[in-house]
Structure 1
């Protein structure tokens, strides 16, 4: 006997489908109103019940209503956690933005996860959170997006570490808008401010000083300009950069990706310290290579440090205070890099120390 034909899926008539959607929309609005009318759910069990109701209704409603729900729950101190996460990872910024910017239900671990995978627009929302801590701001800066950096600098409640400021100052040397916004912050490390004024382009220096508080403006105006190398030395005179890069090296985490990240954030003192450790030469040797218009020995050092060509090219193009390397010269450097043998490169770089 032949098998019975399988039943075709039942398709809901369009009119009935609209009725279900309208019902879900009405129920979601009623559930939201009930939650907000309070008293707020006090127990985890009550919040979980709301999570379950929202989870059933959210897939059946339009994006506009999800945006309404996100706006409504973002300011609530104890919002249903699963609902907050679902809204925060929504691809539409109008849905995710309020949660990312305000929701107290999201933990630091949640936000760190979102920072690793979210779009620049979503990261701007996180950067605007009130009182965001320096661990998260460091991660945001490391993503390398200009709009995110600007949002962080303008968020006067955001806590920035000295490393974070060092990265921002390095980028601001040639970004006048960022330089001006940095000057408006009240928590700038004085030493880094002076080093920035010494190394920045004329335009960035002028806008930073003009926007600075009157009490510090005279001191900054009196700061002499220096070469990029001298300014970088001033930025890590306190040994902090060298200590932190050495700690990465001891833990086995001073890799190509770490150096690439330093380049993305404009942290060239860290790039120099990393190359010195990886090549087993002094910082002075690497610093001299960074300032040399000829890039042959710097390419050698990058090869000796086991860096990839993309990271090497980034270093060559972004060296502070140096002219842009022409495309033809960069291509020649790539060919030399690929022909180099690791052991020979390491031997030659160590010979620069003796020389």
Structure 2
């Protein structure tokens, strides 16, 4: 039978049907969004569930531009439909996700933590500018290692940081002048870490940090020495003979906590450093750099990664030549951190996170 030419002319291509459906969905989505935004505040739970169901059907049929408009609208609402907000927040297109990640109050700390673990740098920057970012979230954000995320966090004056978080930021800022400048402008910096940073940072980063610091802190920071007596002493040490000795102990299985304890007790810190370097599988220069006051936290990690006991670790920390005594209250805090730190985490940080 011959084809009907009239039917062929009037039939709509499948692509046209899809386009029409998308345009219809976009129109309905816009009207539904307007209805939601104009409705009572807050919406009842049943209403939110209903909107979630409607949005779920419509968002599957529209493009990223329309989803971004929806995300921007819902992000400003204190109680947005949760499932929809979550769906938009994890969207791969940052234009869609960013409004939700930056503002949506309906997203929980757990939601944001999950997104941080897998999100792109752009997604994480959106989270970093949220109001009142918690210590748990800032720790996770910093751990991802994105420079733009660190910068966004430092400039977010409502973000809160743990001591470990600040320690990581200071470490990054030692060679990053712009980050050092922005970090110096914060008023909640731990004084001890600020002084340690000034002692360790590059000349340019140190200058930027001090210049931007609050007036009350400038004098103290400017007076902080940049080279410790301990560093000057270590520059005279020769490790050639002791490296041979600790290597022999290691081959016979006798290099461990007891051997390091003996070295500390006799004040033989070149041997302590060489032993820790071998036990942690890093260069002597890495361990040597941890013996200053501003690196004592890293030294604790290296001791844990070398399988030392707390008793020996505390002896190492207290016995460092040319360094200030460790206050008893600080030592107790270090003990808690030591007990909390896992061996695998300490080994990874020592081998890959120190310089």
- Is the counterpart of residue 142 in structure 1 residue 130 in structure 2? no
C-alpha displacement of 1:26: 0.5
- Using the size of structure 2 for normalisation, the TM-score is 0.66
C-alpha displacement of 1:275: 3.0
Alpha carbons 1:275, 1:286 under 8 Å: kept: no
Q: 1:201 to 1:40 in 2, by over 3 A?
A: same
Could you report, residue by residue, the CA deviation over 1:32-52 in whole angstroms, capped at 9, with x for unpaired residues? 000001213532111000000
Q: 1:180 to 1:229 in 2, by over 3 A?
A: farther
Residue in structure 1 matched with residue 256 of structure 2 by the alignment: none
Q: 1:123 to 1:183 in 2, by over 3 A?
A: same
SS in 1 for 2:116: helix
Alpha carbons 1:127, 1:155 under 8 Å: kept: yes
Alpha carbons 1:183, 1:208 under 8 Å: kept: yes
Residue in structure 2 matched with residue 252 of structure 1 by the alignment: none
Alignment gaps of 5+ in structure 2:
1-11, 232-279, 281-289, 321-342
Q: 1:269 to 1:24 in 2, by over 3 A?
A: farther
Could you report, residue by residue, the CA deviation over 1:142-169 in whole angstroms, capped at 9, with x for unpaired residues? 1111111111001111111222111111
Separation (CA, whole Å) in 1 of partners of 2:220 and 2:346:
42
Q: 1:272 to 1:215 in 2, by over 3 A?
A: closer
Alignment gaps of 5+ in structure 1:
1-10, 231-255, 257-265, 290-304, 320-355
Alpha carbons 1:137, 1:164 under 8 Å: kept: yes
Q: 1:277 to 1:176 in 2, by over 3 A?
A: same
Separation (CA, whole Å) in 2 of partners of 1:74 and 1:50:
15
- Using the size of structure 1 for normalisation, the TM-score is 0.66
Could you report, residue by residue, the CA deviation over 1:125-146 in whole angstroms, capped at 9, with x for unpaired residues? 1011011111111111111111
Structure of greater Rg: 2
Alpha carbons 1:172, 1:179 under 8 Å: kept: yes
Residue in structure 2 matched with residue 280 of structure 1 by the alignment: 308
Counting only pairs closer than 5 Å after superposition, residues 124-203 of structure 1 correspond to structure 2 as: 124-203=125-204
Separation (CA, whole Å) in 2 of partners of 1:228 and 1:97:
49
Residue in structure 2 matched with residue 314 of structure 1 by the alignment: 352
Separation (CA, whole Å) in 1 of partners of 2:318 and 2:146:
27
SS in 2 for 1:60: coil
Residue in structure 1 matched with residue 261 of structure 2 by the alignment: none
Bigger mean CA offset, 160-169 vs 98-107? 160-169
Alpha carbons 1:130, 1:158 under 8 Å: kept: yes
C-alpha displacement of 1:226: 2.8
Counting only pairs closer than 5 Å after superposition, residues 243-262 of structure 1 correspond to structure 2 as: none
Q: 1:198 to 1:137 in 2, by over 3 A?
A: same
Could you report, residue by residue, the CA deviation over 1:312-337 in whole angstroms, capped at 9, with x for unpaired residues? 6525xx42xxxxxxxxxxxxxxxxxx
Could you report, residue by residue, the CA deviation over 1:34-80 in whole angstroms, capped at 9, with x for unpaired residues? 00012135321110000000000001011100011111111110100
What number of residue pairs does the alignment pair up? 258
SS in 2 for 1:40: coil
Separation (CA, whole Å) in 2 of partners of 1:18 and 1:12:
10
